[in-house]
């Protein structure tokens, strides 16, 4: 059994269980049938004896007897005993006989003579044995004119009921092998059909493992049992794996592309400084370029590391209750230090709005939104930060008066390394800022939306449930 497959084991167990059920049912049926048949035989015995006794008593008690040609007339104690023509000596397996008080046979049939100790001792249906064969016996004393001392005795062999039982048993013996074969065939069919989803799941997993093709799906026909649900979950898992793999592959490709530029610039400047620079000024210019590109490369690596740690959960970012209002004011105060005289930063922040979040991540989120706003709003950037809490949701909005985003590209801005055009890029801009905002938002179970009008500016809204709202 250990070497058999689960499908074969289930098939064998199913067939065995069904066969045992058939055998148990057959045995129980035969057992019950035996009792029923025996009871039926006894009732038949009593009915026939009582019927014959009533006929004898009826005709012999009539005042005006109408004699029928078929009747039998016997002399008994000086009188005439009339036996109706309907009297049955043997009927339906029952032998009936008329005997006197001395156990002498007057009329009818007896298969054998009762032992002396059993004569007239059966007040109800009893049993006696003759030559190894069991008989049910029933005796009824007659009453009426000229019937004193007469008994009507009936016999029926237990074999009469056993014969029917044997017939039923033989029928079951013929049926059981049929059921055994049907159980095996049915067990195989049911098991094969039940395990078809598992086979498809196994084949799909094997193909994916061998070929690396994550686009492979199980695609079971419609169904709602546990195996269909499992297959659907596997398909959903394969879909997520494929999407994640494609995203990671694209991410790796984009990251490699972005890193190639500063590395190439650094290499070129090093070669220039070594081979062509003739003055300290040229050396200094080359070093400045190298420094700038190194800084950009370090920033890129830092951001990539952040994405990796946040996705894999390697960084222990804990969430706790924090005052989002105070955090926003702190970030904005830090930002104002970097503004030029022509730039402005206005705030409309509702006080004491508390949420469950991570202060470091939310600081980075707001900083990235502000960086994005000033980067694409020019020298006269006007940025407005608002915080409103209503209906259980805290909404943080950052609005600018920048160049805006085209409608067809609005849903792409959250993708990593996405930049709408080269004019909006800089040495340190890799298109990761808004992607980071989206990832931090997902970490908090929040949503972030962008609304923009080209030439007039953009508004980014971060919405998160607040846990507590306190008033000072």
**Count of positions (residues) in the chain:** 472
More confident of the two residues 272 and 397 = 397
Residue 200 has pLDDT above 70, yes or no: yes
**Contact between 365 and 456 (Cβ < 8 Å):** no
**Contact between 163 and 133 (Cβ < 8 Å):** no
**Contact between 434 and 368 (Cβ < 8 Å):** yes
- Position 258 scores a pLDDT of 61
Q: What's the whole-number mean pLDDT along residues 129-158?
A: 85
- Position 78 scores a pLDDT of 64
Nearest to 365 by CA among 302, 425, 305, 433: 433
N-to-C CA span, the chain: 74
427-463 pLDDT, tens digit per residue, is 455 677 788 889 889 888 999 999 998 888 999 999 9
Sign of CA dihedral 292, 297, 302, 304: positive
How high is the mean pLDDT of the chain? 79
More confident of the two residues 219 and 280 = 280
Dihedral Cα 231, 235, 241, 244, nearest 10 deg: -150
Asked if the domains 226-312 and 320-469 are classified in one and the same CATH topology, the answer is no
Confidence tier at 326 by pLDDT (50, 70, 90): very high
**Contact between 383 and 373 (Cβ < 8 Å):** yes
3-class secondary structure, 394 = strand
* Domain 226-312 top-level CATH class: mainly alpha
More confident of the two residues 91 and 342 = 342
**Contact between 130 and 181 (Cβ < 8 Å):** no
347-395 pLDDT, tens digit per residue, is 999 999 999 999 988 988 998 899 889 988 888 899 999 999 988 999 9
- Position 421 scores a pLDDT of 55
Chain Cα centroid distance, residue 243: 26
170-189 per-residue burial string, b: 16 or more CB within 10 A, e: under 16: eebeeeeeebbeebbeebbe
The domain ranges of the chain are 6-166, 226-312, 320-469
CA 15/CA 241 separation, integer angstroms: 41
pTM summary value? 0.47
* Domain 320-469 top-level CATH class: alpha beta
Q: How many CB atoms within 10 Å of residue 198? A: 14
CA 152/CA 106 separation, integer angstroms: 10
Residue 313 has pLDDT above 70, yes or no: no
Q: Which are the contacts of 384, defined by CB distance < 8 A and separation ≥ 6?
A: 345, 346, 347, 348, 397, 398, 399, 400
More confident of the two residues 251 and 113 = 113
């Amino acid at each position: 059994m250990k070497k058999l497959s689960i499908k074969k084991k289930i098939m064998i167990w199913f067939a065995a269980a069904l066969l045992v059920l058939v055998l148990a049912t057959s045995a129980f049926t035969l057992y019950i049938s035996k009792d029923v048949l025996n009871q039926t035989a006894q009732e038949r015995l009593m009915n026939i004896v009582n019927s014959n006794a009533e006929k004898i008593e009826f005709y012999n008690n009539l005042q005006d007897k109408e004699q029928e040609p078929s009747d039998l007339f016997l002399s008994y104690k000086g009188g005439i005993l009339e036996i109706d023509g309907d009297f049955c000596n043997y009927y339906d397996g029952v032998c009936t006989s008329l005997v006197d008080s001395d156990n002498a046979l007057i009329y009818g049939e007896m298969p054998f003579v009762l032992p002396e100790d059993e004569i007239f001792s059966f007040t109800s249906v009893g049993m006696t044995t003759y030559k190894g064969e069991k008989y049910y016996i029933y005796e009824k004393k007659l009453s009426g004119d000229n019937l004193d001392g007469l008994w009507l005795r009936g016999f029926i062999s237990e074999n009469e009921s056993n014969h029917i039982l044997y017939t039923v048993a033989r029928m079951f013996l013929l049926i059981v092998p049929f059921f055994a074969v049907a159980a095996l065939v049915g067990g195989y069919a049911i098991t094969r059909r039940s395990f078809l989803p598992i086979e498809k799941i196994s084949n799909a997993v094997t193909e994916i493992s061998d070929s690396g093709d994550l686009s492979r799906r199980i695609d079971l026909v419609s169904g709602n049992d546990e195996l269909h649900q499992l297959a659907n979950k596997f398909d959903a898992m394969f879909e997520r794996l494929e999407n994640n793999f494609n995203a990671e592959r694209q991410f790796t490709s984009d990251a490699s592309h972005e890193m190639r530029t500063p590395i190439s610039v650094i290499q070129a400047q090093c070669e220039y400084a070594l081979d062509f620079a003739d003055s300290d000024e040229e050396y200094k210019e080359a070093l400045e370029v190298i420094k700038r590109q190194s800084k950009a490369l370090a920033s890129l690596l830092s951001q990539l590391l952040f994405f990796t740690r946040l996705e894999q959960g390697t960084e222990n970012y804990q969430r706790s209750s924090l005052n989002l209002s105070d955090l926003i004011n702190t970030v904005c105060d830090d930002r104002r230090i970097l503004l030029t005289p022509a730039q402005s930063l206005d705030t409309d922040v509702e006080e004491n709005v508390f949420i469950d979040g991570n202060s470091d991540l939310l600081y980075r989120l707001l900083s990235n939104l502000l960086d994005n706003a000033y980067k694409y709003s020019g020298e006269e950037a006007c940025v407005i930060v608002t915080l409103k809490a209503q209906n259980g949701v805290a909404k943080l909005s950052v609005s600018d008066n920048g160049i805006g985003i085209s409608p067809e590209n609005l849903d792409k801005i959250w993708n990593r390394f996405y930049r709408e055009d080269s004019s909006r890029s800089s040495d340190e801009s890799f298109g990761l800022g808004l992607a980071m905002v989206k990832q931090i938002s997902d970490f908090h179970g929040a949503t972030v939306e962008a609304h923009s009008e080209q030439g007039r500016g953009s508004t980014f809204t971060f919405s998160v449930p607040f846990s507590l709202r306190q008033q000072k």
